[in-house]
């Protein structure tokens, strides 16, 4: 199954599904690590994280697996500094925008079941939008973030806690660019997708994703409903950077909507990745379609190839490709990297601001050297 998916990804540069940057042709054609990664390498990575944690520069959990073998699974730093509770391999964190992956897979399931189409417009399912959105923005545009919408739903200090309330704010938006023309990172896109899921499935977003994504993947520690981190057993407190240090913000409500914010663990993210690679959530053809890069999405300091698919980031370093998503919200950061050709999965979640990037860059350097 991994070979089938890797082959599909290797050929996606010539698929014609979407615009491509010229630099993508080489990396898309080769997706295997150039040197084997030894157990000693992962032990050294663990020790590096442990040393950074001791120096106050990393707090969270890290998991590395290849196929059925877990190579690293550990917690670092404090889940609650006031009580001295440590982060463990099973500690839950807010995964922020990594949750967009769950929404993307749910939409693709409905397409696979012929209940909607990637080419359907927003107006086919939702009322209240102006023609600029209703008649011209498609499900595909929302998935690959080319709808031209922004972040109206979550922009204020106290955004609506309900999907209906968030949608009312988005309905007032007008696209900032021609739909389908260019990438613009947008939480609103995924909130609209969540509303479409509710309309098509005739059940709440939370219920549909629980039954059709989380349960089949075996993700028993993932929470989709709004929550307060301090009230969730086994969840890390989030520590947000301020002008004078770090503040515990675990008493603040996390919305956990279709654009992200779920509480989850590195173990559950591994289960999700395995379900994707094993075609337990989508069949082989739909999995390949969802993971086909569609639009250039470069970010400052990002990898040489940085594109976006139907919900997944598609990246390449030294001709090695990987897919997944990152996430960040005050107090929490995380990233899930999936290497289809080799079966490696890396999940890193943190509960302090500005500590993720060095850790994920180091793991990517190990797997793409």
151-186 per-position pLDDT tens digit:
999 988 889 999 999 999 999 999 999 999 999 999
Cα–chain center distance at 356: 14
Q: Which residue has the tokens 């011209």?
A: 136
Cα–Cα distances in angstroms (integers) from residue 104 to residues 29, 110, 312, 369, in the given order: 25, 10, 8, 30
Final residue in a domain of this structure, among 179, 205, 231? 205
Cβ neighbours of residue 257 closer than 8 Å, sequence gap 6 or more:
163, 166, 191, 194, 205
- Same domain assignment for residues 79 and 133: no
CA distance 154 to 166: 7
**Residue 69 neighbours by CB distance under 10 Å:** 8
CATH number, domain with residue 85: 3.40.710.10
- Same domain assignment for residues 93 and 118: no
DSSP state of 161: S
Q: b/e string for 206-242 if b means 16 or more Cβ within 10 A?
A: bebbbebbbeebebebbbbeebebeeeeebbbbbbee
Cα–Cα distances in angstroms (integers) from residue 280 to residues 37, 109, 287, in the given order: 28, 11, 10
- Same domain assignment for residues 83 and 125: no
Strand partners of residue 74: 62
Judged on CB neighbours under 10 Å (0-12, 13-18, 19+), 122 is: buried
Min mean pLDDT across 22-31, 87-96, 167-176, 319-328 is at 22-31
Predicted confidence at residue 171, as pLDDT, reads: 96
Average pLDDT over residues 273-301: 94
pLDDT value at 67 more than 70:
yes
Q: What's the residue count for the chain?
A: 369
- Same domain assignment for residues 156 and 299: no
pLDDT value at 13 more than 50:
no
- Same domain assignment for residues 35 and 134: no
Predicted confidence at residue 35, as pLDDT, reads: 64
pLDDT value at 11 more than 50:
no
What's the whole-model pTM score?
0.91
Contact 357, 348 (CB under 8 A): no
Cα–Cα distances in angstroms (integers) from residue 360 to residues 64, 217, 239, 336, in the given order: 11, 24, 19, 9
pLDDT tens digits, one per residue of 91-135:
999 999 999 999 999 999 999 999 999 999 999 999 999 999 999
Which residue, among 329, 299, 311, has the nearest Cα to 145 in the 3D structure? 311
Structure-token pair, residue 172:
């007032």
Structure-token pair, residue 166:
């968030």
CA distance 337 to 246: 27
Beta strands (DSSP E) in the chain are: 60-66, 69-76, 78-80, 85-86, 93-94, 239-241, 246-248, 263-264, 295-296, 305-308, 313-317, 320-329, 332-339, 344-350
Which residue, among 288, 297, 50, 85, has the nearest Cα to 184 in the 3D structure? 297
More confident residue, 36 or 69: 69
DSSP state of 71: E
Percentage of the chain with pLDDT > 70? 91
Judged on CB neighbours under 10 Å (0-12, 13-18, 19+), 276 is: buried
Average pLDDT over residues 47-58: 98
Final residue in a domain of this structure, among 184, 205, 226? 205
Domain hosting 111: range is 102-205
pLDDT value at 21 more than 90:
no
- Same domain assignment for residues 147 and 191: yes
Strand partners of residue 328: 333
pLDDT value at 22 more than 90:
no
Predicted confidence at residue 268, as pLDDT, reads: 98
Predicted confidence at residue 319, as pLDDT, reads: 93
17 confidence band (pLDDT: 50, 70, 90): very low
Mean pLDDT, all residues of the chain: 90
- Same domain assignment for residues 75 and 86: yes
Predicted confidence at residue 322, as pLDDT, reads: 97
Predicted confidence at residue 6, as pLDDT, reads: 45
Q: Cα(first)–Cα(last) distance of the chain, in Å? A: 25
pLDDT tens digits, one per residue of 201-244:
999 999 999 999 999 999 999 999 999 999 999 999 999 999 88
- Same domain assignment for residues 230 and 269: yes
Contact 189, 161 (CB under 8 A): no
- Same domain assignment for residues 252 and 298: yes
DSSP state of 295: E
Judged on CB neighbours under 10 Å (0-12, 13-18, 19+), 172 is: exposed
- Same domain assignment for residues 241 and 94: yes
Final residue in a domain of this structure, among 164, 184, 205? 205
- Same domain assignment for residues 229 and 218: yes
> What is the tally of structural domains in the chain?
2
Taking only Cα atoms into account, the Rg of the chain, rounded to an integer number of angstroms, comes to 20
Q: Summarize the chain as % helix, strand, coil (round to 5).
A: 35, 20, 40
pLDDT value at 279 more than 80:
yes
- Same domain assignment for residues 92 and 117: no
Alpha helices by DSSP H, listed for 210-304, are 215-217, 266-277, 284-290
Average pLDDT over residues 249-276: 97
């Amino acid at each position: 199954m991994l070979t089938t998916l890797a082959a599909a990804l290797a050929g996606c540069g010539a698929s014609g599904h979407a615009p491509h940057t010229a630099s993508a042709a080489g990396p898309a054609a080769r997706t295997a690590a150039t040197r084997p990664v030894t157990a000693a390498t992962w032990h050294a990575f663990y020790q590096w994280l442990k040393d950074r944690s001791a120096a106050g520069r990393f707090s969270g959990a890290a998991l590395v697996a290849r196929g059925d073998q877990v190579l690293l699974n550990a917690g670092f730093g404090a889940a609650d500094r006031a009580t001295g509770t440590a982060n463990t391999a099973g500690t839950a964190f807010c995964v922020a925008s990594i949750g967009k992956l769950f929404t993307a897979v749910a939409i693709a399931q409905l397409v696979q079941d012929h209940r909607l189409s990637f080419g359907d417009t927003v107006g086919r399912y939702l009322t209240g939008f102006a023609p600029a959105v209703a008649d011209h923005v498609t499900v595909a545009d929302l998935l690959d973030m080319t709808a031209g919408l922004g972040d109206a739903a979550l922009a204020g200090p106290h955004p609506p806690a309900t999907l209906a309330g968030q949608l009312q704010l988005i309905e007032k938006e007008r696209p900032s660019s021609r739909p389908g023309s260019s990438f613009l990172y947008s939480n609103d896109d995924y909130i609209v997708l969540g509303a479409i899921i509710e309309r098509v499935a005739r059940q709440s977003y939370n219920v549909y994703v629980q039954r059709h994504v989380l349960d089949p993947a075996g993700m028993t520690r993932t929470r989709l409903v709004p929550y307060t981190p301090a009230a969730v057993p086994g969840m890390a407190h989030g520590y947000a950077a301020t002008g004078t240090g770090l503040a515990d913000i675990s008493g603040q409500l996390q919305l956990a909507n279709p654009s992200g914010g779920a509480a989850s663990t590195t173990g559950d993210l591994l289960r999700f990745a395995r379900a994707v690679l094993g075609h337990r959530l989508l069949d082989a053809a739909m999995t390949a379609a969802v993971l086909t890069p569609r639009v250039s999405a470069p970010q400052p300091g990002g990898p040489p190839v940085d594109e976006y698919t139907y919900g997944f980031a598609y990246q390449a370093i030294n001709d090695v490709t990987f897919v997944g998503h990152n996430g960040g919200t005050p107090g929490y950061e995380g990233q899930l990297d999936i290497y289809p050709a080799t079966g490696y999965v890396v999940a890193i979640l943190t509960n302090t601001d500005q500590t993720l990037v060095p850790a994920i860059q180091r793991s990517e350097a190990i797997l793409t050297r």
